[in-house]
């Protein structure tokens, strides 16, 4: 009997865990004996994935923030890459985290292993010349956004637009309709979801300003209810201590994980820029997007940025659909005023809903199945199957 197909995967954060888990599920439906290993999170492991290192060790954002962890990150990458070279998988998939995974893909491709990069790096926003490195290191790119394939025309990169799995998941999740009862929220309550990010570095810079904004809002609207989901137990403990020490006056419910249910239960959202903004869009929630990082990191990024927008709803709408509040502007009164508009401006909310429907149509394409199809075609072209 031939050995089962074996696929290496590296996902570096919670959004990558979601993407990879759906892809694994679709591939296993085609090849039940497939073996998956590398670095991944709980959702991937629930699909039978074996993780060599905790995924949380890769979840770090920002140039300055990465520097303090660089020796560890480079050590993990070197060891895992060498283990795959010594015992080659039939395919390697890097899920997002391009600064970590593209170098792996390059070494593995040179060793004769087909490579896939799932989630196009943001070459439309910055580092446009990265398309040449991607061509050199990657046999196939799976793109989530409809405008991304055009960015690669110069290199004739093999690229497949698959849509975004979140659109498929949310469309099928009937439990979201009863999310309020899950948290004991009355139908008449007005709820603000507070999502300061899934990485420790994001929570470090955003949790306290977000909670200060909640306090500012509570003074304006005393009956407003706040719900804050923590991405993992470590962040839950950190946020719980922060609330107990400085924000015990807030009418706030801290929950472990369940961010999608929290979004579904909300009337508006204060949220860190990232994949969760697309979840909020697909759930048709008015939102205020904020981001803050180390000053030197922000200064470097601002010089490199080519895009008008940083948040996914604005990128997909190609307009400033939702407010983006960055760096020194991340203050309670600034974010609070924007949240009040999101809660109370009926015409704005109606316009958002219309535009959100259009965004949903852009990204709802049965992404897991399309991604699996593209990978099967690559394996067939490479003679692996």
pTM, entire model: 0.83
Question: Going along the chain, which residue ranges are E strands?
Answer: 6-11, 35-40, 50-54, 91-95, 115-118, 140-143, 159-161, 191-195, 225-230, 252-256, 268-272, 287-291, 324-326
* pLDDT tens-digit series, residues 199-244: 888 999 999 999 999 999 999 999 999 999 999 999 999 999 999 9
Percent of the chain surpassing pLDDT 70? 94
Q: What is the DSSP letter of 187?
A: T
pLDDT of residue 218: 97
Q: What is the DSSP letter of 319?
A: S
pLDDT of residue 187: 81
Q: Of the candidates 267, 280, 292, which has an alpha carbon nearest to the alpha carbon of residue 321?
A: 280
Give the CATH number of domain 6-163+365-381: 3.40.50.2000
pLDDT of residue 65 exceeding 60, the answer is no
* pLDDT tens-digit series, residues 100-143: 999 999 999 999 999 999 999 989 777 789 999 999 999 999 99
pLDDT of residue 324 exceeding 90, the answer is yes
Q: What is the average pLDDT score of the chain? A: 92
pLDDT of residue 296: 75
Q: State which H helix or E strand residue 57 sits in.
A: none
Same fold, 6-163+365-381 and 175-363: yes
Q: Under a CB-based contact definition with an 8 Å cutoff, are residues 246 and 281 in contact?
A: no
pLDDT of residue 4 exceeding 90, the answer is no
Q: Of the candidates 361, 283, 292, 281, which has an alpha carbon nearest to the alpha carbon of residue 321?
A: 281
pLDDT of residue 62: 46
pLDDT of residue 375 exceeding 90, the answer is yes
Percent of the chain surpassing pLDDT 90? 79
**Third-level CATH fold of 175-363:** Rossmann fold (3.40.50)
Domain definitions of the chain by residue range: 6-163+365-381, 175-363
* pLDDT tens-digit series, residues 10-25: 998 888 999 999 999 9
Q: Under a CB-based contact definition with an 8 Å cutoff, are residues 273 and 289 in contact?
A: yes
* pLDDT tens-digit series, residues 232-262: 999 999 999 999 999 999 999 999 999 999 9
d(CA 18, CA 46): 11
């Amino acid at each position: 009997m031939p050995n089962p197909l074996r696929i290496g995967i590296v996902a570096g954060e919670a959004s990558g865990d979601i993407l990879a888990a759906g892809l694994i599920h679709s591939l296993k439906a085609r090849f039940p004996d497939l073996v998956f290993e590398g670095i991944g999170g709980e959702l991937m492991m629930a699909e039978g994935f074996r993780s060599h290192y905790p995924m949380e060790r890769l979840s770090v954002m920002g140039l300055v923030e990465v520097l303090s962890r660089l020796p560890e990150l480079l050590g993990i990458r070197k060891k895992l890459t060498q283990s795959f070279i010594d015992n080659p998988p039939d395919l390697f998939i890097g899920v997002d985290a391009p600064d970590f995974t593209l170098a792996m893909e390059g070494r593995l491709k040179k060793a004769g292993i087909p490579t896939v990069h799932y989630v196009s790096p943001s070459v439309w926003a910055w580092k446009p010349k990265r398309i040449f490195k991607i061509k050199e290191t990657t046999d196939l790119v799976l793109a989530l956004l409809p405008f991304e394939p055009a960015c690669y025309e110069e290199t004739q990169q093999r690229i497949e637009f698959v849509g975004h799995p979140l659109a498929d998941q949310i469309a099928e999740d009937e439990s979201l309709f009863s999310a309020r009862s899950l948290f004991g929220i009355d139908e008449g309550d007005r709820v603000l979801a507070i999502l300061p990010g899934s990485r420790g570095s994001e929570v470090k810079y955003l949790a306290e300003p977000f909670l200060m904004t909640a306090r500012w809002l509570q003074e304006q609207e005393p009956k407003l209810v706040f719900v804050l989901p923590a991405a993992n137990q470590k962040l839950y403990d950190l946020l719980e201590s922060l609330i107990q020490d400085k924000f015990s006056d807030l009418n706030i419910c801290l929950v472990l994980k369940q961010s999608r249910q929290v979004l579904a239960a909300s009337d508006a959202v204060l949220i860190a820029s990232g994949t969760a903004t697309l979840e909020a869009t697909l759930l048709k929630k008015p939102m205020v997007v904020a981001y803050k990082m180390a000053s030197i990191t922000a200064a470097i990024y601002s010089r490199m940025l080519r895009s008008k927008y940083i948040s996914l709803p604005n990128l997909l709408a190609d307009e400033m659909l939702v407010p983006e509040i960055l760096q020194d502007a991340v203050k309670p009164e600034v974010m609070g005023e924007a949240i009040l508009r999101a809660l109370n401006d009926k015409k704005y909310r109606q316009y958002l809903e219309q535009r959100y429907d259009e965004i949903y149509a852009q990204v709802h394409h049965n992404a897991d199945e399309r991604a699996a199809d593209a990978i099967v075609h690559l394996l067939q072209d490479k003679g692996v199957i």
